[in-house]
Chain A
Amino acid sequence: MKERKESGFVKFLEEKLKDDRAAMARLRRGLGKKTGTSEMYRYVVPFLPNEETDENRWQRSANRHFLIASLFSLHSESAGRGSSMGKVFRAMMASSPSVEKRFELLLEVDAEDLGGHLRQAVSLAKSKNVWVDFHQLFDDVIHWGDRSRGVQTRWAREFWGYEKEANKQTIETESKGETP
């Protein structure tokens, strides 16, 4: 099994905010707002890099934190198993074959447009009761624009590629809320 990527920010969301309805509502109001809202600052800014670093880089990092925080507020049941959105879409396809087209569109977006497509994807996952690993998603968002397109390749492989029977079963049981 792959080692799960741990994000301190996502861990904070899971452990401190998940059960705080007011906090989650504030994060949810940040959906679709690339630079977040002032309500989100108290939760997000402590995790942002030092202001003295490159301004563009800081802004991109801030946008990613706002995005993950707002997505988390949408669907806070975490998979916690290192499964990428490729596996999430694969699990959703079992009940909705049209999901494949949505997944293909998602693979082709660039970093600027990623937030909107992910919001739709996470909404859909919630409606299908498929969990999302936000630790993995956070890391994938960071590397989405890499020239190697490693994230997209991995998601594609996990969606279309061969999956071992044991892994498939575990995702399905987790999505149903059962303990694997």
Chain B
Amino acid sequence: MNGCTYNLIDEPWITCSGRDGTCRAVGLQELLLCAHELREIESQNPLTIAALLRVLLAVVHRAVDGPKTKPEWQNLYETGFFSKKVITSYLEKVHDRFDLFSELHPFYQTAGLINLDGSGKPLTVSIAAIMLERASGNNKTIFDHTTDDMPLALSPAEAAHALITTQAFALGGLNKKTANLDLGYQQSYLNASLVSGIFIALTGESLFETLMLNLLLPEYHKVPIENDDLPVWERNDRGGDGVRPPKGYLDFLTGKCRHIRLLPDQHGGGIMVSRLHIAQGEVFPHEIGNPSFMRKKNNKTDEYYCPQLDPDRLVWRDSFSLFAFNDTIDERPAAFRQAKTMRRVVRPSAHYLCTAIALANDKANPLAWRKENLPVPVALLEEQSAVYLLIKSMDRADAVSRILDGAVKVYIRNVLPPNSKDVNDKAKATGTMGVYWNRLEGHFRTFLSSLEQEDVALSAWYDKITATAWDALETCVRQRYADSAASLKAWAAAGDELNKKLAGLNATKGGELL
């Protein structure tokens, strides 16, 4: 018996910002009952936000036992808040399943799990094992420089965040541990369900609206539902390891990809968690598509796939994949498709954001995580004319990026000795394209926000693209290299190249020479 208790329904472990701009920590019950007064979940780790959202959606789906039809969804939405009676009734029923340190049913964990060493004795693991941002085990030193020798202890709230995030984003790799409960020796881990794609959610003006917008009807999530579809906290079986199909959408949302048992310690009146046991849990087959993932078309094969986060490519550059649809093909994330259908019942003045959250990895090594928000004009959800403008806007940005890349190469070619072989490498090393796309992002948001102005918005966007290209060339090339006569000559050539090619695009300004 560990004697510790920390119930996630009651304890304040989730930080949320209110619609009045203030922040406060709340438990699950308060979060759901006040969701209409809260703006969003706050966390330094964007992966935690995605993982928490899925848990909250599962709670709401289960509490309301639906919604299964559009009228049910509409009734829920039009109430404007979650029913206190419905939410408290459900949470009371499952109260004991949300205790983080319960001996019988620890939340999102496996009771009785023990890692064993070679002689069969218990062997605990550092809590850092479930923190991607910590340099632990074979993890590269990306974000911090602690080592496994340095003691690390988390508060119960922090441990809960790490636990939930791990169940959604744990990376596959070497395991080489033995565990009890018939799990035995496990050579390796498998990726958790949110690793292999970019998670997309629609964000509303309140947490209530966000949850509603992402509360998917069966016709949109399309995960086959069996009779025993339950969220993980209601299951009485501990689950196995390896790949198995989900029993339904609730199972899908709360899959337990790792068997974990947190080991709390009492420290001077408080509880801290520094050690745990861990083993491979259950994962779902890739064939079960994630309705919240971005899907992109492979132009060579015409097939759709779920791209992973590329640390060098911002998600907004794939806006076409996020927003494009026509009468016959609609591969947008499920929340978008549902929002288009439910648009008639949603407030006309509603402003949405598209929130993209993802992890980039190189096998077992986390490389980067990212959260991007993009404004979503209502027209973009519904009107193909708006999609057409979006296509034109992205085509222009891509065309200018190719021109800019060419101008950088002209510069490098003129600066290096004749017949140099590493022009491309040196051109890439200038970082010009990264600066171009990064600086373009803010202008793209402005463009999206003013999409209803159509040609005016598009013209202003074209101007910004041209200016940003010049800016990137100036910043990364002109200002960075020694100002010999050779480099000045190369600069004149690069400027000419950019000017000439931009003029060829019929940009509103061909670009004045700097």
Contacts from A to B (Cβ < 8 Å): 103-105, 107-108, 149, 152-153, 155-157, 159-162
Contact = CB atoms under 8 A, between A and B. Distances in A.
Interface stretch (B175-183, B429-437, B487-495): B487-495
Contacts, number: 43
Contacts of B491: 153, 156-157
Contacts of B485: 103-105, 107-108, 156
Contact of B496 (A104, A105, A152, A162): A162
Contacts of B514: 153, 157
A107 B513 contact: no
A99 to B, nearest CB: 13
A156 B496 contact: no
9 contacts: A104-B486, A107-B484, A107-B488, A149-B488, A153-B488, A156-B489, A157-B495, A160-B489, A161-B513
A160 B478 contact: no
Interface residues of B, number: 16
A160 B487 CA distance: 12
A103 B514 CA distance: 20
Contacts of B500: 162
A103 B489 CA distance: 11
Chain A interface, DSSP helix/strand/loop, else mixed: helix
A149 B488 CA distance: 10
Given A104-B486, A153-B514, A161-B513, 18 more contacts: A104-B485, A105-B485, A107-B483, A107-B485, A149-B483, A149-B488, A153-B483, A153-B491, A155-B488, A156-B485, A156-B488, A156-B492, A157-B492, A157-B513, A159-B492, A160-B489, A161-B493, A162-B499
Given A153-B478, A153-B514, A160 B492 contact: yes
B495 A108 contact: no
Nearest to B414: A160
Given A161-B513, A162-B500, A108 B484 contact: yes
B488 A161 contact: no
Nearest to A105: B485
A152 B514 CA distance: 12
B488 A152 contact: yes
Contacts of A159: 492
Contacts of A152: 483, 488
A17 to B, nearest CB: 34
Contacts of B513: 157, 161
Contacts of B493: 160-161
A161 B485 CA distance: 14
Contacts of B486: 104
Contacts of A162: 496, 499-500
Q: Which 4 pairs show the lowest CB-CB distances between chains A and B?
A: A104-B485, A156-B488, A160-B492, A161-B492
B496 A161 contact: yes
B222 to A, nearest CB: 57
A153 B486 CA distance: 11
A157 B496 CA distance: 9
A53 B513 CA distance: 37
A61 B483 CA distance: 25
A87 to B, nearest CB: 13
Nearest to A101: B485
Interface string B213-254: 000000000000000000000000000000000000000000
A155 B319 CA distance: 42
Contacts of B478: 153
B474 to A, nearest CB: 10
Interface in B448-503: 478, 483-486, 488-489, 491-493, 495-496, 499-500
A107 B496 CA distance: 19
A157 B470 CA distance: 15
Contacts of A104: 485-486, 489
Contacts of A108: 484-485
B475 to A, nearest CB: 12
A162 B483 CA distance: 20
A108 B488 CA distance: 10
Nearest to A149: B483
A161 B483 contact: no
Interface in B384-407: none
Nearest to A160: B492
A108 B484 CA distance: 6
A105 B484 CA distance: 9
Contacts of B496: 161-162
A161 B511 CA distance: 14
Nearest to B474: A153
Nearest to A103: B485
B484 A161 contact: no
A108 B499 CA distance: 26
B365 to A, nearest CB: 41
Nearest to A106: B485
